[in-house]
Chains A and B, each alone.
Chain A
Amino acid sequence: MTSIHLALRSVSKSFRVGARSVRAVEGISVEVAEGECLAIVGESGSGKSTLANLVLGVYAPDAGSIMLDGATLPARRSLANRRMVQLVQQNPLSSLNPKRTVGASIRLSLDVHGIGKPSSRASRIGWLLEEVGLPAEFAERSPAALSGGQRQRVAIARALACESRLVVLDEPTSSLDVIVQARILRLLKDLRAARGLTYVFITHDLAVVRNVADRVMVLKEGARVEIGETARIFTCPEHAYTRGLIAASPVIAQEEQDLRDRLRQGIG
């Protein structure tokens, strides 16, 4: 019996754009179990990032509530709340400050939350880097001196530094090439197993979802279209919108082509 780690209860959020109001997220409810990886998919503008930002507390929902470990999160997050959930962004080039060393970026989490004795923080940074597969000496480097994949590893190390058990990953591999992507996905999987992390994994690459997620939630125009076990969503999607998304994915193998053709016929 696993417990519920994150729960959204009819969460809504709209934005004012000029005179109009854009409903970015509309009445979403979902529960994510401890240690689960929930993927959120949908086309551009469907509200994926808005949902992530709500979970992260970038802004508060207009309606509904967000619960972590059974407790409702306040609109203004405390430092302790912040420590419970971290983000890995799409573009590590922008998510790491170009003017600070990798070590300084990771150290911020330790300093802000008073993790470890100040004197032990340097070695802690070293462990974190090693945990994501980088040599500890990289702490001295600036992000400019790293490849894209290495930068994303640093961003992951920073998210782990807070010791959050919930990590939101917003397109964590979309700016990387496939080989680096596969390696980062493997790292994320190993970390999840080792640390018992819960992931909210946002992407529009369905093949990635198929590989990493336990369950998938499909969004369309801010609303939940469908949610279910990954294998079920991919083999017999209930909703035509989901079928369309899968059928639009580029594929390389014959079996994938067959699946896609089958789904395309389903759309008619």
Chain B
Amino acid sequence: MNAPTLDIRDLRLSFAGYSGTVDVLHGISLTVRREERVALVGESGSGKSVTARSVLGLMQSLQETRISGDILFEGTDLGSMKESERRRLRGTRMSMIFQDPVSSLNPVFRIGVLFREVLARSNPGISAREARERATAVLSEVSIREPDRVLDSYPFQLSGGMNQRVMIAMALVNEPALLVADEPGTALDVTVQDQTLRLMHRLVLEHRTSVLFISHNLGIVREFTDRLYVIYRGRIVEEGPTQAVFQSPGHPYTRALLAAVPRITRNGIPEFDADPALFDAPRIVHEPTGDRP
């Protein structure tokens, strides 16, 4: 019963493309213990989103992915589960918040309908009235003042901040054991982002949810997580309690990462020690001639 909420062991992943395979993850291991909030930080293209999607079991069913290693969720290996079992876990025991709330909410349905669908995942027999009551309750938990209006709206009729809150409410309404948040709030402006993240933080504390928090915003990571993994080019290069890593980063990449963050108290563009060729090299160029983005 003491298995960690999430235990990833030596996860390797590559994409088989037309021009050969591209290795994206070269053996990632990370753990999220119960009620722990763990961050995964790293540069763009380092494989953060791919890791998150693998945890949700979204990469396993893709034709072009080659995946190996174990992902244990509460002690059970996702790899040994059937696709239908993995699907049952999503939105119930584990859920995800995406970077861009507007495009991840289906625009053709009202929020109320979307909510009911989410609720029906854990309780298929739920009545429309019950669902509405639950939804109203959670929406007020995320500080939405007019839950009724929101439930009757389409996603595009709400602001980015409201959509993000709706996403958070949906992700938490089934009391998941694990919440995977992939760059929540990057699409929002600072004030709204700050409010939304505080809110999310409060809720995961109240609901005792474990969180895998993906971000390249170190300020946010510092404020909202207990432990931290640094991923660089598909490898974990550093791991430790967030405060400790911030105080004494070990890996040169982590040091560069921290040094590169501009400070609100200091003038001048951050100086940091990093091999320029390393950081500006193309990520993975799938096609040298490249006729599609």
- Is B280 a contact of A149 with CB atoms below 8 Å? yes
- Is B219 a contact of A245 with CB atoms below 8 Å? no
- Is B190 a contact of A204 with CB atoms below 8 Å? yes
- Is A245 a contact of B190 with CB atoms below 8 Å? yes
- Is A252 a contact of B265 with CB atoms below 8 Å? no
Residues of A within 8 A of B16 (CB): none
Contact A145 B264, CB 8 Å, known A177-B43, A179-B256: no
Residues of B within 8 A of A234 (CB): 264-265
> In which size bucket is the chain A interface?
35 or more
**Distance between Cα atoms of A144 and B51 in the complex (Å):** 23
**Distance between Cα atoms of A182 and B194 in the complex (Å):** 23
Q: Mark B31-57, 1 if CB is under 8 A from A, else 0.
A: 000000000000111000000000000
- Is A148 a contact of B219 with CB atoms below 8 Å? no
Contact of B222 among A142, A148, A205, A252 (CB under 8 A): A252
Contact A211 B269, CB 8 Å, known A252-B219, A252-B261: yes
Which B residues, 233 to 283, have Cβ-Cβ distances below 8 Å to chain A? 246, 256-258, 260-270, 272, 274, 276, 279-283
> In which size bucket is the chain B interface?
35 or more
**Interface of chain A: mostly helix, strand, loop or mixed:** helix
**Distance between Cα atoms of A138 and B287 in the complex (Å):** 15
Contact A183 B280, CB 8 Å, known A145-B290, A255-B265, A259-B265: yes
Residues of B within 8 A of A98 (CB): 292-293
A29: shortest Cβ distance to chain B, in Å? 24
- Is A252 a contact of B192 with CB atoms below 8 Å? no
Q: Residue A210 at the B interface, CB < 8 A?
A: yes
Residues of A within 8 A of B274 (CB): 179
Q: Residue B218 at the A interface, CB < 8 A?
A: yes
- Is A210 a contact of B263 with CB atoms below 8 Å? yes
- Is A144 a contact of B44 with CB atoms below 8 Å? no
Q: Residue B2 at the A interface, CB < 8 A?
A: no
Q: Mark A167-202, 1 if CB is under 8 A from B, else 0.
A: 000000000111111110110010000000000000
**Distance between Cα atoms of A148 and B293 in the complex (Å):** 12
Sorted nearest first, the 8 A-B pairs with minimum C-beta distance are A250-B219, A144-B290, A248-B194, A207-B262, A44-B189, A145-B290, A182-B260, A142-B290
- What are 18 residue pairs bridging A and B, where the CB atoms are less than 8 Å apart in the complex? A146-B282, A149-B280, A179-B260, A180-B43, A180-B279, A180-B280, A205-B190, A207-B219, A208-B262, A210-B265, A210-B266, A211-B263, A248-B190, A249-B190, A250-B194, A252-B263, A255-B263, A259-B264
Further pairs besides A43-B190, A149-B280, A256-B264: 13, Cβ < 8 Å: A43-B189, A99-B291, A133-B280, A144-B293, A147-B283, A177-B44, A178-B257, A182-B269, A185-B269, A207-B219, A210-B265, A250-B190, A250-B223
